Amino acid sequence: MRKLTIILLFIAFGACSPYQKALRKHNRLSDRERLALTSVFTDASREKILGHLSKARDLYNFVLEKDPLHDASLYELSIILGHEGKTDEAIEMIDLAIKINPENKWYKVAKARIYESGGRFSDAAMVYRDILKDDPGNYDVLMAEADAWLNATESDKAIAVYDELESLFGISEEICIRKYYIYVVNRQDDKAIKELDKLAENFPGNTEYFNVLIEYYLMEGRLSLALEKIQMLQAVDPGNGFAHIYLSEYYRAAGRDDKSEEELLSAIASPGLVIDEKIKVLFSFYESGSAYGDTLFLYRLMDTLVSTHPDEAKAWAMYSDILSNNGETKLAIEKWKKSIEQDSSKFLVWESLMMALYSEGDYIELEKYSSLAVILFPEQGLTWFFNGVSYFETKEYEGAIVPLEMSLDLIYDNKEMKIQCMFILAEAYHYTERFEKSDDMFIDLFLLDPNNYIAINNYAYYSALRKTNLQDAEERMLPIIEKFPDQSGFLDTYAYILFRQGKYEAASQFIKQALENGGDKDGLIVEHYGDILYFLGKAENAVIQWQKAKELGETSDLIDKKIDDRKYYE
């Protein structure tokens, strides 16, 4: 292959004799030989089309060995070499093809493209300019030249070509837009704006040009020009919703807040503005902290949005989010319900609603909506979790177990939620007397969250109630009361564990400590104090404490029997 290139160099650029020799060889070919070469050339082109470039290259070379001036083979082979990145060799071949057949424009086009594929864009641009000598005013060639100058980072030369195109073919959107972006990239704002002005003036049907102009003038504080373009926009498109938004910005910049609010309300009410654009504007307005410093005005805007688009779930959802972020959860809940009525397919809305109901402690409504959510989103662990919680908080412990178990199976990467689910499930097992499952769930929870003091306290207290795992319960509670020596609930649990083990003196010390730290206001803790006193042989004092406990409330079911019989029961 390399030998062929060297021969071509001599033919193209050397003395006349090698070229003449090649010419004589070309001229001596008989018609039969030419026909045979044409057949080989056709086969080569077929292989090229099929993607068999190696075979195609060999066949083209065979033709050139027989006829060094076969310009079509030189052309095809140059394209293959160009694609392979062998730019210099490809140019040598295409130059010879052009020398042989200078009238063939496509050879010159191929030369330009070979230069482009090799990254030599300035050379390509000059080839396109050479083509224009024989084909002046060719739109495609002029565009190709401009592209080449752009790729060569010669933007001024590209602009000159675009100006030439405009002088030949008149103002076009494509050319103006290309020039606009060149000026923008080069930070020539005034020239960029002139191109937009041309576009707006010559193509008024495309209001996007007005939009860009208005936004630019507003940003630059050139209010009179902004107003002029807004009025032009309204003239060509009277129902344009963006015009109200721009007027709102204009009046705000001019210090006319009353007019600004009026125009913004008109924009949100406008049928000429799609809801997504309205939401974008409102979100920007909300994120800025309210341009007018007035949350009530934001609510007016949202009221306008939902009244204009009552069937749009996203309008209600946005209103809900704003209300929720402002701490108005009850109102937000009503709006989330409206959103779900319009479109029940958005899980994030359901999630927000269920979390709000949970935070408000409205477990009846939470049960209603979470029961619907588990049908719509059975793969979401959060829906099952809230469903289980709603049953648990309404003391329907049996109904809580299956949803909580489902939730636990579906939770993979939310550790906090998993911990909470395990805790509530362990409690539900306890209340439904599945004591072994409750203990096992608590133990698994401690492995995941060893510092969950509330869970440890409850596990220990339940163990004391049933007189099971008392040593384990005592060992788990001891570090907690040492860490929190003034927490009456923890002290009471520890005292009760000791009591259930018959360690009455030790239990008495810790129950007194619990009472000193607020436990004297807790009926169950006072009742436990009476229980301990009873086993210390102080039955009269025990009865007094049981009576106090009853007055405080929240005691065991045996409190009346203890008082009446003046005796301890369990």
Q: What is the pLDDT of residues 226-272, one digit of tens each?
A: 999 999 999 998 888 999 999 999 999 999 989 999 999 999 999 98
Q: Is the pTM of this model over 0.75?
A: no
The full DSSP string for 231-288 is HHHHHH-TT-HHHHHHHHHHHHHTT-HHHHHHHHHHHHH-TTS-HHHHHHHHHHHHHT
Residue 15 has pLDDT above 50, yes or no: no
Question: Does any domain span residue 114?
Answer: yes
Question: Does any domain span residue 532?
Answer: yes
Question: Does any domain span residue 500?
Answer: yes
pLDDT for 374: 97
Question: Does any domain span residue 525?
Answer: yes
**Of the residues 118, 142, 157, the one at which a domain ends:** 118
| Amino acid of residue 380 | Q
| Amino acid of residue 135 | D
Query: Chain centroid to CA 510: how far?
Result: 55
Tokens 């469903």 appear where?
A: 387
Question: What's the total number of domains in the chain?
Answer: 2
Question: Does any domain span residue 349?
Answer: no
Q: For residue 173, what are the CA distances in angstroms to 159, 161, 177, 188, 229?
A: 15, 15, 6, 19, 19
The kind and range of the H/E element at 437 are helix 435-448
pLDDT for 274: 93
**Of the residues 74, 98, 118, the one at which a domain ends:** 118
Contact criterion met (CB below 8 Å) for 344 and 375: no
Per-residue pLDDT averaged across 409-427, rounded?
A: 93
pLDDT for 65: 86
Chain segment 28-74, per-residue pLDDT in tens: 888 788 888 888 888 888 988 888 888 988 898 898 888 888 888 89
Distance in angstroms (rounded) separating the CA atoms of residues 60 and 72: 9
Question: Does any domain span residue 9?
Answer: yes
Q: For residue 484, what is the domain's CATH number? A: 1.25.40.10
Per-residue pLDDT averaged across 448-465, rounded?
A: 97
Question: Does any domain span residue 50?
Answer: yes
Question: Does any domain span residue 178?
Answer: no
Distance in angstroms (rounded) separating the CA atoms of residues 549 and 525: 8
pLDDT for 304: 96
Residue 2 has pLDDT above 50, yes or no: no
Q: For the chain, what is the largest distance between any 2 Cα atoms, rounded to a whole number of angstroms?
A: 138
Residue 148 has pLDDT above 70, yes or no: yes
Residue 451 has pLDDT above 80, yes or no: yes
pLDDT for 327: 92
**Of the residues 79, 100, 118, the one at which a domain ends:** 118
Domain carrying residue 548: 471-570
Q: What contacts 24+ positions apart, CB below 8 Å, involve 541-544?
A: 542/568
Among residues 92, 90, 79, 72, the alpha carbon closest in space to that of 13 is found at 92
Query: Chain centroid to CA 565: how far?
Result: 69
